[in-house]
Amino acid sequence: MPEPDAGSEQRVERRNNLFVVAVLHWPGAPVAVRIRNMSPNGALVEGAGLPDVGTAVRLSRGQRNVAGELMWRGEMHAGLQFSAPVNVADWLPANAGNAGQQRVDQIVFEAKAARVATGIVPNEPSAPDYAAIARALVKAGDELVAVPGLAENHPDALQAIDIAAQALNLLTRR
């Protein structure tokens, strides 16, 4: 669960859920993040090793970049305010619109239908360990994002890994 955003009551624009892989650059070191939601003026990002509040950052995904500042930070989540507005649609996977999230929804629907048809319930001994598979995918994605240039050159492949992990995590919820 994301930490509360202290500035959210001042937000005037609706945020769009994205769930895409990106890189947060700052004077310390680049950090692999997942953009969980975004508006033209800011974003909620998730990742380990996030910089301190007030740090000047640059968020990049493929050829897209935007400068900004870290406005709040929790253990694994942070709120960014951009220095200039962005077109949120430009940050979506190439030619996908909201197809990534639609694909997650479709995977979850199909998995639920299969679960009903087979009688298999996640977290029971006969079911695959979806949570462990999801953790392995997240770990693999995080390791790949740490490879210099990989996130910038292959954002859609990393997105596919993240979508698969999200879908598996949804299967573990009751």
Condensed to tens digits (0 to 9), the pLDDT of residues 1-10 reads 344 444 444 5
pLDDT band at 38 (very low <50, low <70, confident <90, very high): very high
Q: pTM of the predicted model, to two decimals?
A: 0.58
Torsion of the alpha carbons at 161, 167, 170 and 171, rounded to the nearest 10: -120
pLDDT tens for 89-138 read: 888 875 444 455 455 545 555 555 555 555 555 545 455 677 788 888 88
Average pLDDT over residues 68-86: 95
pLDDT of residue 25: 93
Residue type, position 112, single letter? K
Question: Tokens 């997105």 map to which residue?
Answer: 159
Please state, in angstroms and rounded to a whole number, the distance separating the CA atoms of residues 152 and 169. 26
Query: Residue 67: beta bridge partners?
Result: 58
Please state, in angstroms and rounded to a whole number, the distance separating the CA atoms of residues 115 and 13. 39
DSSP assignment of 153-168:
H-HHHHHHHHHHHHHH
